Amino acid sequence: MNILHVFAALATAGFMAGSQAVLAQTVGCGSLPQANAAPAYTTGPGAALAGPAAPRGGGGGRLGASGAVRGALGGPGAGRAGGGGPAVRDPHAAGNVDAKDLPDGENAPNNIDGSFVLGPTHPAAPETVENASVPKGVVCIFAMESGDSRMYPGITRAPRDPDAPPPPPNSRMVAVMPAPYSRRVYVYIPKQYVAGTVTPFIVGADGPDNGLFTTLDNMIAAKKLPPMIAVSIGNGGGDGPGSERGLEYDTMSGKYAEFVETEVLPLVEKRYGVKLSKDPEARLAMGGSSGGSVSFGMAWFHNDLYHRVLTYSGTYVNQQSPTDPNLPHGAFELEEHLIPAAPAKPIRIWMEVGDRDNGRPGDDTHDWVAANEIMARALAAKGYHYQFVFARNAGHTDGAVKKQTLPEALEYVWQGYKAK
């Protein structure tokens, strides 16, 4: 078996006992000493909370996100606007959803719907810091090849024909050609998991998410969350129109949820002997940037599969390529037409945007701040359980904001969960 394709990370000595040994001995999930941990991941939203020395090991390597999101969740200051960056936005500007200002450094209450403004400083929540005294889950890693995928065989942008006329302004139609990829899937299994039991789980975009895994260790140990598995799925490469990542994440349809359901989750269960719940109340989709918009899309287009969503700087804007004539504004259609026109669905969502987030002010379909505000307004109008956080002094998928808010966000979004 190729070590570049199937690895394991961090099974602590205490983990290797009883039924847990079965999990860690499954193909692709052995035990590596902590000294073998890989360097910090610094590319793409999957870098989430990985500090100077990532606490968990595994494959490493670039996961295909572009400079638009590179390092976005990598730590304090990641994604912050520098000279010439986006203008600072006002959360209380005309037309924005009503929001409550919080004292600096505080998080929103984890049991109240609505919109909140936090910052400008962002202290890390203690649950996001590795704690040697709590039981550590194991992180198993395997690869999925494009040639084995029925739904996503792989694309990339085609070289531009120098004799072709220039595309129209703001065109999302990009010539593509087939291109292979290899994506990695990171599976966090808490020490408290009992082999053979059905468990709630999280599906995360742009894996790995070391900060999520550390936070789950701490919150499960503190009984703030039930034991749950997290499946962080690497994207297929590139970013934006014409890329595999763009095709997967920016397309407004149920296809990505179907890919996860039919091609990813069965492999996770087979490889590691776990049982993932079929109850949509026991499933959370989460991600940053386009990984956020696809996460909401998973719950919207497949509400039979997902009822819980968590997004940082969700790309609720028009990035879709090729254009769907039925949904011409891509993910912006969610807040523009789809949510307002449909009866409320059983979706609970926590969402965030930064005051220096991406986009072009004045063009709502390409403005992350405006799009998230409009999204929050649409959810509020329909009576959804939602919490929207506007973060001051924060850029796109800001790492410091995630360290501050992730535990509160997880508690909010898992409210009401009862195992069946």
Per-residue pLDDT at 27 exceeds 50:
no
Per-residue pLDDT at 330 exceeds 60:
yes
Per-residue pLDDT at 3 exceeds 70:
no
Pick from 29-38, 240-249, 289-298, 316-325: least confident: 29-38
d(CA 273, CA 28) in angstroms, rounded, equals 12
Mean pLDDT throughout 21-41? Answer: 34
C-alpha radius of gyration, the chain, whole number:
20
CA 281 to centroid of chain Cα atoms:
18
Per-residue pLDDT at 405 exceeds 90:
yes
Identify each DSSP E strand in 147-200 by its residue range. 155-157, 176-178, 182-189, 198-199
Report the chain's mean pLDDT, rounded to a whole number. Answer: 83
Cβ atoms of 321 and 277 closer than 8 Å: no
Of the chain, the percentage scoring pLDDT greater than 70 comes to 78
Q: Which of 280, 334, 330 is nearest to 303 (CA)?
A: 280
Mean pLDDT throughout 58-82? Answer: 31
Residue 59: pLDDT band with limits 50, 70, 90 = very low
Per-residue pLDDT at 28 exceeds 60:
no
Of the chain, the percentage scoring pLDDT greater than 90 comes to 74
Residue 87: pLDDT band with limits 50, 70, 90 = confident
For the ranges 86-90, 243-247, 361-365, the maximum mean pLDDT occurs at 243-247
The CA-atom distances, in angstroms, between 364 and each of 167, 273, 321, 357, 407 are 22, 46, 18, 13, 30
Mean pLDDT throughout 241-266? Answer: 97
d(CA 360, CA 237) in angstroms, rounded, equals 25
Per-residue pLDDT at 86 exceeds 60:
yes
Question: pLDDT (tens digit, 9 = 90+) per residue, 132-154?
Answer: 999 999 999 999 999 999 999 99
Pick from 65-74, 105-114, 199-208, 336-345: least confident: 65-74
Question: pLDDT (tens digit, 9 = 90+) per residue, 262-297?
Answer: 999 999 999 999 999 999 999 999 999 999 999 999
Residue 25: pLDDT band with limits 50, 70, 90 = very low
Question: pLDDT (tens digit, 9 = 90+) per residue, 176-203?
Answer: 999 999 999 999 999 999 999 999 999 9
d(CA 404, CA 126) in angstroms, rounded, equals 9
Up-side HSE of residue 118: CA atoms within 13 Å toward CB? 23
Mean pLDDT throughout 358-381? Answer: 96
What predicted TM-score, i.e. pTM, was given to this entire model? 0.83
DSSP 66: -
What 3-state class would DSSP assign to 352? Answer: strand
Mean pLDDT throughout 366-395? Answer: 98
Identify each DSSP E strand in 208-347 by its residue range. 229-233, 275-276, 283-288, 308-312
Mean pLDDT throughout 385-401? Answer: 98
Residue 35: pLDDT band with limits 50, 70, 90 = very low
